[in-house]
Structure 1
Amino acid sequence: MAKLVIYLNCEDARSQAAFYTEALGGEILNMVTYEAGPWSDMPEKDKNKIMHMTFTAGGVLFYACDSIGEPIQRGNGAFFYLSFETEEEAYAAFDRLAVGGEVIESLKVQFWGDLFGQLKDQYGVIWQIAVENTSPSM
């Protein structure tokens, strides 16, 4: 059996994790910099970057690291889908994640019955926020 964990490749893992833990509630569990690694040829500018971090946000476990050597390229091949139990939780998370980002689709009741919205956060990550209809008509 496998366990799925979201692993974020970041430009600034510290600030991205801080944003998510603040927006969704959570905490940074641990963080290791590249300086702690065995590389003797690590450039000075990269030593304080995050090699591995674990944090929780919205009750979900995340891993993260800082990209070194090449820039981050976000795509649309995967979304983070968060399903909440209440509309209040969903609206609060949506509004906080949208700060500095772009609303793709406002959070509203959709034709299939779910409260659903989509946004791209300030880091280029696409989030789908929902409260699932417990008795769908589809």
Structure 2
Amino acid sequence: MKAQLNAYIQSEDAREQAGFYAKAFGGQIVSVMTHGQLPDAPADMQNKVMHLVLEVAGGNVLFLSDTFASASGGRAVSLALNFADEEEAREAFENLAGGGTVKFPFALQPWGAYHGEVEDKYGIHWQIVKQ
């Protein structure tokens, strides 16, 4: 299997936190997608960050999103594996789900990528993506 590993930070204010990291490490916000860009998003979620890409320290990439629960403890960071192959992504998702808990099923999403979230049996939160 071949994949790229990215830290995915769940934040109470993703834009503010990304700005802090951009200044601290040198970098820039590459893109921001809000829940309001998806069909039928509730009014109170319109401006919440669904996915933010931040490039820091010479090309390293961090992902951030607003969370709707406390951003402390083990859920504050997710490990995101980005696969080029859908079958490999699906296999990795199913392997991690063994003995764990599926948080969001691996499926094609409105933004055009396959995505699923699982907490493995050790309590680590994973996002599996095939773009």
Give the TM-score taking structure 1 as reference length.
Answer: 0.49
For CA contacts below 8 A with separation 6 or more, give which structure has more relative contact order. 2
Query: What is the CA–CA distance in structure 2 between the aligned matches of 1:62 and 1:5, rounded to whole Å?
Result: 6
In structure 2, the residue matched to 1:14 is: 15
Give the letter for the 2:45 counterpart.
Answer: D
The aligned amino acid for 1:53 is: L
2:73 aligned counterpart, secondary structure: coil
Letter in 2 for 1:56: E
- 2:62 matched to 1:55? no
RMSD: 2.2
Q: Which structure carries more strand by proportion?
A: 2
Cα offsets for 1:49-68 (capped at 9, x unmatched): 10111011213101111112
Give the structure with the higher percent helix: 2
Specify the code of the residue in structure 2 equivalent to 1:58. Answer: A
What's the CA shift for 1:71?
1.8
Which protein shows a greater Rg? 1
Partner AA of 1:32 in structure 2: M
Give structure 1 stretches of 5+ with no counterpart. Answer: 79-138
What is the SS of the residue equivalent to 2:30? Answer: strand
Where does the alignment leave 5 or more consecutive residues of structure 2 unmatched?
78-131
Report SS of the residue matched to 1:5: strand
Count of residues in Structure 1 that have an aligned counterpart in Structure 2: 75
Q: Percent identity at matched positions?
A: 34
Query: Distance between the aligned counterparts of 2:25 and 2:70, measured in 1?
Result: 26
